């Protein structure tokens, strides 16, 4: 455990919650200052509670990015909801994310009810996300609406994670709610998520881009093997032996529920799977700072979202 710089240091855990696609993962990445949670225009993209770590001179925040809470239709959906509810009671602050460009609806009220039932003593605050999409007057109106939803004693902070607007202010407000105590992680550490999980999530994000609505909930990615090997640099210095650079061979399986979905992921002549591999590799290399060679295979696991045995096999 890292030592804290002084008695006023604060540290604790915060969970971003909200309906699917309210900007929770984008906000997590903006606060951490690096990509540790995948983002997508598709609802229910996040499937793991990813811990991002925010380091400041006088506080440390551990961000728990949960899946979007929703009314489940499958066993996987129920599992994701259980993950979220378990998190509520284990964190110091729950931050409810509601977009500036969407009216508060029954789903938001249902989430507030769930939070207050499961974790009545946990501090709840509001975050109005995506303020770059609307006018100042509309932001002001949404701030008032969220305040009415949560009660006058709850803080409500407007942010634009894409533009970085108010992100530091939100971090300061959250930190003010945290107990005094030492840092949980060494300075510079950004996440405690295993490498395999981050890689699998980045591959799934790449595979979800530009596909039809039927695919997102049916796609799972499992890293089967990561094998380090040495490779020769293509352009050695003149007169010298070829230096070696580390390369990771990453073998991953992409699971879908039907053969028709397999065809979508692979694309004509394998073109789409190749594009997925290229995009995922760039993201993984930028995060891990290591050359990556991806070996992607698409497999059918029929109705895996409703099969407890297959859910366990796929890591849920």
pLDDT digits (tens, 9 = 90+) for 5-43: 445 899 999 988 888 788 888 898 898 887 666 554 444
**264 or 171, higher pLDDT:** 171
Percentage of the chain exceeding pLDDT 70: 74
Is 69 one of the annotated binding-site residues?
Answer: yes
Count other C-beta atoms under 10 Å from residue 29's C-beta. 21
- Res 24: pLDDT: 86
- Residue 130 marked as a ligand binder: yes
Tell me if 270 is assigned to a ligand binding site: no
Residue 75's SS3 state is helix
pLDDT at 240: 46
289 marked as binding residue: no
Residue 96, marked binder: no
Q: Which residue has the higher pLDDT, 124 or 283?
A: 124
198 confidence band (pLDDT: 50, 70, 90): confident
pLDDT tops 70 at residue 278: yes
**What whole-number distance in Å separates Cα of residue 23 and Cα of residue 177?**
22
Q: Report pLDDT for 169.
A: 96
> pLDDT confidence of 289, banded at 50, 70, 90?
confident
Under 8 Å between Cβ of 248 and 223: no
Q: What is the bridge-based pairing of β-strands 291-300 and 244-256?
A: parallel
pLDDT value for 46: 44
Residue 259 annotated as part of some ligand binding site = no
Q: How far apart (Å, rounded) are the C-alpha atoms in residues 289 and 295?
A: 18
20 is in an annotated binding site: yes
If you average pLDDT over each of 148-152, 225-229, 233-237, 238-242, which comes out highest?
148-152
Q: Which of 213, 31, 42, 18 is nearest to 102 (CA)?
A: 18
Residue 45 has a pLDDT of 44
What is the per-residue pLDDT for 28? 87
Mean pLDDT of the chain: 80
* pLDDT digits 0-9 by tens, 49-97: 667 889 999 999 988 876 555 555 666 556 566 666 667 777 899 999 9
Name which of 239, 255, 249 is nearest 297 in CA terms: 255
Q: What is the pTM of this model?
A: 0.59
- Confidence band for 197, pLDDT divided at 50, 70 and 90: confident
Tell whether residue 133 is among the known ligand binding residues: no
Q: How many CA atoms, within 13 angstroms, populate the side-chain half-sphere of residue 30?
A: 22
Mean per-residue pLDDT, 295-314: 79
Total residue length of the chain: 316
Q: Is 92 annotated as a binding residue?
A: no
Residue 192, pLDDT > 60, answer yes
Is 274 annotated as contributing to ligand binding? Answer: no
What is d(CA 159, CA 147) in angstroms, rounded to the nearest whole number?
Answer: 15
pLDDT of residue 150: 96
pLDDT at position 191 over 50:
yes
- Tell me the pLDDT band of 207, cut-offs 50, 70 and 90: confident
**Which tokens hold the place of 159?**
């942010």
Residue 131, annotated ligand binder?
yes
Is the pLDDT at 205 greater than 90? The verdict is: no
Burial per residue of 231-270, b for 16 or more beta-carbon CB atoms within 10 angstroms, e otherwise: eeeeeeeeeeeeeeeebbebebbbbbbeeebbebbbeeee
């Amino acid at each position: 455990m890292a030592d804290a710089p002084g008695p006023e240091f604060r540290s604790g855990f915060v969970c971003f919650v909200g309906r699917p696609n309210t900007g929770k993962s984008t906000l997590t990445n903006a606060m951490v200052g690096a990509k540790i949670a995948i983002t997508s225009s598709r609802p229910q993209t996040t499937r793991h509670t990813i811990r991002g770590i925010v380091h400041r001179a006088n506080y440390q925040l551990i961000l728990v990015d949960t899946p979007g809470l929703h009314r489940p239709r499958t066993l996987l959906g129920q599992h994701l909801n259980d993950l979220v509810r378990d998190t509520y009671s284990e964190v110091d602050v729950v931050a409810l994310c509601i977009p500036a460009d969407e009216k508060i609806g029954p789903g938001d009220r249902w989430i507030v009810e769930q939070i207050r039932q499961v974790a009545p003593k946990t501090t709840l605050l509001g975050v109005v996300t995506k303020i770059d999409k609307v006018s100042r007057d509309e932001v002001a109106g949404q701030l008032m609406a969220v305040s009415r939803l949560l009660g006058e004693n709850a803080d409500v902070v407007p942010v634009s994670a894409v533009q970085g607007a108010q992100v530091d202010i939100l971090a300061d407000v959250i930190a003010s709610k945290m107990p005094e105590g030492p840092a949980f992680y060494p300075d510079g550490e950004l996440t405690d998520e295993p490498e395999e999980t981050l890689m699998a999530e980045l591959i799934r994000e790449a595979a979800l881009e530009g596909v039809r609505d039927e695919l997102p909930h049916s796609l799972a990615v499992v890293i089967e093997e990561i094998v380090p090997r040495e490779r020769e640099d293509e352009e050695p210095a003149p007169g010298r032996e070829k230096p070696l650079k580390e390369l990771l061979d990453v073998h991953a399986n992409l699971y879908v529920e039907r053969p028709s979905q397999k065809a979508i992921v692979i694309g004509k002549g394998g073109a789409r799977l190749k594009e997925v591999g290229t995009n995922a590799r760039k993201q993984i290399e930028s995060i891990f700072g290591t050359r990556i060679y991806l070996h992607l295979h698409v497999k059918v696991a029929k109705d895996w979202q409703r099969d407890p045995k297959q859910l366990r096999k796929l890591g849920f």
